[in-house]
Structure 1
Amino acid sequence: MDYAASESHCSELVARERSGHTAVVEDNLLYVWGGYVSVADNEVFLSNNQIWVYDLQQGVWEVFHMTGEVPPPMSGSCGCSLNGHLYIFGGCDVNGQTNQIYCVNLTDGNYTWRKIIPERGCAPSPRDKVSCWIHEGRLIYFGGYGHKLLADIDHRNRSFIVDEAAWVEDVYWGWNNEVHIFDPVQASWSEPQTHGHSPAPRAAHASATTGCRGYIFGGRVMETRKSDIHCLNLETWTWSEIVPVSSSPVGRSWHSLTAVSDRTLFLFGGLSSDCKPMSKEMHPW
């Protein structure tokens, strides 16, 4: 099914409603890729070879065809913009979670996907609902929900909480609190040694960056939606938990967290513990 609008004038185009998509801003343009819609109680992935572009100044949409090594239709991928390129990592397709990473140049008008084959290090295990910070030209990923072989689960440090309802033989699904670094220049993966008290494993949380500090808020683990906020110093790799001076926002997942100044993060929306959508809150963290 083709979900693109068919009008001939760009000003009449409107991107279809969706969830679990990727959205980034580059030079006053909002780029939207992927996600899914609910059709007759089924989740249907949206087209993987289209990218929707919204001009934030003129208020109009355009849709472009994408070529190259196009990722499969997915939701829950982690997208970010670095040096004019959109990178997506992880996500869930028809075969489940993935740990592949792709990039596309947003500035040349060609929209040609490239699948990145790591030259060094090992990619994280397959996962979706991950968050990402950008620091000194590197992509730093945290958390997510996915699967590991039983032999790869370290039960001593609790970096992976098993979803008791999801396992097949020696493959187990669950939530993690791992930190992984991807260097696009070296095409390399690495895993830093962090210090301090790490946040509990989670997925569908939100992240933001100010200077050399990466923040996460909320997220889901098992049936619990978290309401804590943590900071990772991206130079010393030291975790610290932040206790709000006023009451903390209620726990939530699938929300957004945006840095609007060096001292303020903007928390918007999300699903509450009873799966109800919520509105915005601003906190001076």
Structure 2
Amino acid sequence: MDSATEKHCSELVARERSGHTALVEGNVMYVWGGYVSIADDEVFLPNDEIWLFDLESGVWEMCTMSGEVPSPMSGICGCSMNGDMYIFGGCDDSGQTNQLYCVNLLDGKFTWSKVNHRTGSPPSPRDKLSCWVFNGRLIYFGGYGHKQLDEINNNRSFLMDESSWAEDIYWGWNNEVHMFDPTSARWCEPHTSGHSPEPRAAHASATLGNKGYIYGGRIRECRTSDIHCLDLESWTWSEIVPVSPVPLGRSWHTLTAISDSALFLFGGLSIECKPMSDGWVLDVETQKWREIEHPYMNKPRLWHTACQGKDSDVIVFGGSCDFILLVDKGHCNDALVFQMKPYSLFRICEDYIAKNVKNCKMLQKQLPYMPAKLLPAVQKRITYFQTSSKKCNVNK
């Protein structure tokens, strides 16, 4: 890293937050934005810093950002493509936005640039939307935002929030599909066919092959449990109707691809406004849900992020363990690692050494003789388990 790096030590941890964005490039998770609740105020976190979490060592690093820096905000939709992080929408001090920004994550400079379109029209301002990345394009779905009265075409694509309007401006949920091509800087709204989902926000999405999936979300006062699939080549919607058992309806959850045919659902806010900690795997080929056991049943999360890491691990970061609209606490900053498949023999050996070297004199003596290419990786894992152990002791 260059002079953009502010701090780097094993004791540094990203601040707790909700409504942020996070993604993984290589073995690093990048975290930006979000907010915390202080008394009756929602305080957006600094917009000129990005947090890096080394998935191998468990070490956090904070880097400063420059350029055309977006406003501090939450509810943004973030994704990565070719080493660039794109963020769209979100809510800042002025309300929902419809601006698109980009920053390269790999050059160490972290310089933001505002992405201006040459043709087409961007979506109306919104937050709590989702996106898919496919064939070099960014495809956005849904969200909650506002439109002018003359922009509302029909109630099938925009469901008005009857409790919120001002003069000719109306707020509500939508089920629109918008696509942005970074190469041509063009926005368009593909014509879709099939049975489209109802307008919604605070849902979750994931991409598998040429298909984009969405699950749940909020529609007016209802939190749903439906799952829909959009073919990103033919633009055809289809609804998946799995057999029981199925997860409960929810919003502010996450959906993560863990293989070519499976999606992992975690957490969210239930219909009864209770934070959830259950985990489910959907096999999209058999269309069957399976609830899984995991070590974080006592750590409910909502409005968190989830990223696929090494060996199909899913890394959940941040979010809230309480209903954030009713309390002024409950934001989290721990990284929960879900093992989604058996580890390779190499990973098992690597982790065994890292976990036990502190208490095994034989391993301590043998460590310096490890192959030069292997030693740094093992040392990172040693740091990871030592850091994890310290956190566990602090939380006891």
TM-score under structure 2 length normalisation: 0.69
1:228 aligns to what SS in structure 2? strand
Deviations 1:79-109 (A, max 9, x none): 0010000000000000000000000000000
One-letter amino acid of the structure 2 residue matched with residue 96 of structure 1:
G
Quote the residue 1:241 is aligned against: 239
The answer to whether the 8 A contact 2:205-2:213 is kept is: yes
Aligned to 1:168: 166
- Which of 178, 181, 187 is matched with 1:180 structurally? 178
Report the CA distance between 1:8 and its aligned residue.
5.9
- Are 1:266 and 2:248 matched, yes or no? no
The residue type paired with residue 265 of structure 1 is L
How far did 1:10 drift?
Answer: 1.6
1:122 aligns with 2:121: yes
* Partner SS, residue 201 of structure 2: coil
Distance 1:274 1:16 in 2: 28
Per the alignment, residue 35 of structure 2 pairs with 36
Return the offset for 1:247: 2.2
> Which residue is 2:199 aligned to?
201
Q: Distance in 2 between matches of 1:87 and 1:189?
A: 14
1:104 pairs with 2:103 = yes
Deviations 1:211-234 (A, max 9, x none): 000000000011100100000000
Per the alignment, in what secondary structure is the counterpart of residue 151 of structure 1?
A: helix
Q: 1:8-27 CA deviation, whole Å, 9 max, x = no partner? A: 65211001110000101001
Name the counterpart of 1:3.
Answer: none
Higher share of residues assigned helix: 2
Paired residues, number: 278
Q: 1:88 to 1:8 in 2, by over 3 A?
A: closer
Separation (CA, whole Å) in 1 of partners of 2:7 and 2:208: 41
Which residues in structure 2 correspond to 1:15-164 (within 5 Å)?
15-155=14-154, 158-164=156-162
**Contact 2:7 2:62 (C-alpha < 8 Å) held by counterparts:** no
For residues 262 and 72 of structure 1, the distance between their equivalents in structure 2, rounded to whole angstroms, comes to 36
The question of 1:276 aligning with 2:274 is answered yes
1:253 equivalenced with 2:263 (yes/no): no
Distance in 2, matches of 1:88 and 1:274, equals: 31
Alignment TM-score, normalising by the size of structure 1: 0.96
Alpha carbons 2:264, 2:280 under 8 Å: kept:
yes
CA contact (8 A) 2:7 2:63 kept: no
In structure 1, runs of 5+ residues without a counterpart are 1-6
Q: Identity across aligned pairs (percent)? A: 69
- 2:266 maps to a residue whose letter is F
Deviation at 1:246, TM superposition (A): 2.4
Distance 2:38 2:221 in 1: 25
Q: Which amino acid aligns with 2:256?
A: T
Displacement, 1:61? 0.2
| CA RMSD, Structure 1 to Structure 2 (Å) | 1.1
Q: Aligned equivalents of 1:240 and 1:248: distance in 2?
A: 18
Aligned partner of residue 218 in structure 1, secondary structure: strand
